[in-house]
Amino acid sequence: MGSVGAKDIPELLDANGKRIDGRDLNELRPLKIEAGVLQRATGSAFVEWGENKVMAAVYGPREVHPRHMQENTKAVVQCRYNMASFSVDERKRPGLDRRSQEISKVIGEALESVLFVEEYPRTSIGIYIEVLQANAGTRCAGLVAASVALADAGIPMSDLVPAVAVGKVAGKLALDLRKEEDNYGEADVPMALVPKSGRLVLLQMEGHMTRDELKTAIDMGVQGCHKIYEIQKEALRKRYSIAHDGGDAQ
Amino acid sequence: MKETKGLVLPGEPLGTAEELAPGRGTYEYKGAIYASVMGYPQVESESKTVSVKAIHEIPHVSEGDVVYARVEEIKPMLLVTTVLCSAVNGRVVPGYPDGTVHISKAKDSFVDRLEKEFAVGDMIKAKILSGYPAVKLTTVGHDLGVVSARCQECHAPLAHLSENKLVCTRCGRREDRLVSSEYGKVTHILGTATSSAT
């Protein structure tokens, strides 16, 4: 890529306070979730969120490989987040890197906190997240997809886990950053919520925010998560209620 | 009597802990009962237990379930197997519990020696008589018994010859088995990495 001079930085907020794609500050990108899209996996989900496209597949509970990783009191949650080489502008070198390892870890831990892992000791639950097209917020999209896939797989869990990022662009807090805002903004705070208990199971921050801004950001994120939560539930209902009781499940 | 409602998702409330007891597929949190799996809730009116019948159920090895298992050992009175997966939805049984078939539960007529009905390594279809902690199985039934087997001499797959006879596809050796009506029709048994399903 060429050098990024001041001229190249896009105008992140216009005079009316609208964002680069015409959204308001606390408006989500359009989110579409489809559950049960893969035949071979136990559970799966596909998420299109703005220009993100993320597929999640779940296997298990099944045998643990390698064996020494097995735990006698609970199922181990093995999560893999991976970006396709064609998911970004310039070809990404395929395979594990530091970034994907970190994201796999935080997503796995976030999901483990809602799974009843004690019910299946000496087994593993495999979560595979593939990012097909990336446009900022893929860890949140991956987490949203993975939690729908887990519910689709029938693995006992206390709640679905919606996730969203809040960032700071042109000095203002904004919900659900897109790529330009992430690249040229001042901060990015992804978070994941368990709506039932109000617990945040993922919270990271890149960039700078004041303490008050962070508090507001979390409030904005939690509100966004509740909207995503409804879309997640709707996706599962849409996929399964019709097949079993001819429509309208209450 | 059971009472059912529409589809519920994980985290959806089913009632309060005062009125109902949490059963399978549910959990109790702060005095209320919620679903932990996606499925249809059922209330057992006698025990006041609410449970959720999952759409994609993880096999639980409870009485009456039909499963696939692999023969591991033949004792004089007992067949020891590893329970691999549900025969209903093909889903792996977590933890691969051991399942045993007592000689009296192998078939509805007299069994002289279990070695005449099974061999180590055979895949069998069996029904569960009692679940955890000791999984007991039966192979009494038309569709129950050996569904896949290999030659004791050369390890080639055995083909079905007549009612209780199998013949080796390579060396022609004949073997006796308690053959299920599904012999040779089960093409894929999900299970361990060591699964030798044909």
A16 at the B interface (CB within 8 A)?
A: no
Q: Is A38 on the interface with B (CB under 8 A)?
A: no
With CA atoms as reference, report the closest residue to A162 among A250, A80, A59, A47: A47
User: Domain containing B104 — which CATH number?
Assistant: 2.40.50.140
- Looking at residue B196, its pLDDT comes to 37
For residue B37, which residues of chain A lie inside 8 Å, CB to CB? 151, 154-157
B118 touches chain A (CB under 8 A): no
Residues 88-107 of A with CB under 8 A from B: none
Average pLDDT over residues B167-190: 88
As a whole number, the mean pLDDT across chain B is 89
Q: Please check the confidence at residue B165 and state whether its pLDDT lies above 50.
A: yes
Number of Cβ pairs < 8 A linking chain A and chain B: 91
Q: Provide the residue-wise pLDDT of chain A in tens; the chain has 250 residues.
A: 445 555 677 889 999 989 999 999 999 999 999 999 999 899 999 999 999 999 999 998 988 989 999 999 999 999 999 999 999 999 999 999 999 999 999 999 999 999 999 999 989 999 999 999 999 999 999 999 999 999 999 999 999 999 999 999 999 999 999 999 999 999 999 999 999 999 999 999 999 999 999 999 999 999 999 999 999 999 999 999 755 444 443 3
Q: What is the pLDDT of residue B195?
A: 38
Higher pLDDT pick, A60 / B11: B11
pLDDT at B198: 32
Residues in chain B: 198
ipTM for the predicted complex: 0.88
Do B78 and B31 lie in one domain? The reply is: no
Q: Show Cβ contacts of residue A178 under 8 Å, excluding neighbours closer than 6 positions.
A: A19, A20, A21, A29, A50, A51, A135, A136, A137
The reply to whether A158 touches chain B by the CB within 8 Å rule is yes
Strand partners, B54: B39
| Domain contains B108 | yes
CB contact under 8 A, B10 and A120: no
Structural domain boundaries enclosing B174: 66-197
Half-sphere exposure at residue A151, Cβ-oriented, CA atoms within 13 angstroms: 33
Q: Of B29, B54, B79, which closes a domain?
A: B54
Binned at pLDDT 50, 70 and 90, residue B185 comes out as confident
Q: Is the pLDDT of residue B84 over 70?
A: yes
Half-sphere exposure at residue A87, Cβ-oriented, CA atoms within 13 angstroms: 24
User: Residue A1 has what pLDDT?
Assistant: 47
Residues B44 and B100 in one domain: no
Residue B67 pLDDT greater than 50, yes or no: yes
Q: Which one, of B128, B133, B125, lies nearest residue B185 by Cα? A: B125
Whether residues B89 and B186 share a domain: the answer is yes
Does residue B191 belong to any structural domain of this protein?
yes
Task: Tell me the residues of chain B between 28 and 87 that have a Cβ less than 8 Å away from chain A.
Answer: 29, 34, 36-40, 54-58
- The reply to whether B115 falls in a domain is yes
Same domain, B87 and B47: no
Q: Is pTM beyond 0.95 here?
A: no
B105-158, pLDDT tens digit by residue?
999 999 999 999 999 999 999 999 998 888 999 999 999 999 999 999 999 999
Give the residue from A33, A40, A42, A229 with the most B CB atoms within 10 Å of its CB, the best one to mutate: A42
The pLDDT value given to residue B191: 53
pLDDT of residue B4: 58
Is the domain of B101 the same as that of B193? Answer: yes
Place of tokens 């093995």: A78
User: Are B181 and B85 found together in one domain?
Assistant: yes
> Residue B193: pLDDT band by 50, 70, 90 thresholds?
very low
Q: Does A86 touch chain B (CB under 8 A)?
A: no
Please report the DSSP string for A20-62 in residue order: TTS--TT-PPPEEEEES--SSSSEEEEEEETTEEEEEEEEEEE
Q: What is the mean pLDDT of residues B51-68?
A: 91
Query: Total structural domains in chain B?
Result: 2
A120 and B37 within 8 Å at the Cβ level: the answer is no
* Residue B61 pLDDT class (50, 70, 90 cuts): confident
B95 interfaces chain A, CB cutoff of 8 Å: yes
User: Do B82 and B31 share a domain, yes or no?
Assistant: no
Q: What is the pLDDT of residue A248?
A: 43
Nearest CA in chain B to A121: B95
CATH number of the domain within which B25 lies: 2.40.50.100
Residue reference for tokens 């007529």: B109
Q: What span, in angstroms and rounded, lies between the C-alpha atoms of B32 and A196?
A: 11
Best probe of the A interface among B4, B5, B7, by most A CBs < 10 A, is B7
Which domains are seen in chain A, by residue range? 31-241 (3.30.230.70)
Same structural domain for residues B91 and B39? no
pLDDT value of residue A216? 97
Whether B10 is covered by a domain: the verdict is yes
The verdict on B72 and B41 lying in the same domain is no
Cα separation values, B192 from A72, A78, A137, B72, Å: 18, 18, 37, 13
d(CA B167, CA A172): 78
The pLDDT value given to residue B190: 63
Give the chain B residue nearest A66 (alpha carbons): B193
B60: nearest CA partner in chain A: A120
- Among candidates A123, A237, A245 on the partner chain, residue whose Cβ is nearest the Cβ of B94: A123
Q: Which residue of A has its CA nearest to B28?
A: A158
The confidence score (pLDDT) of residue A27 equals: 96
Using a CB-CB cut-off of 8 Å, the residues of chain A touching B96 are 63
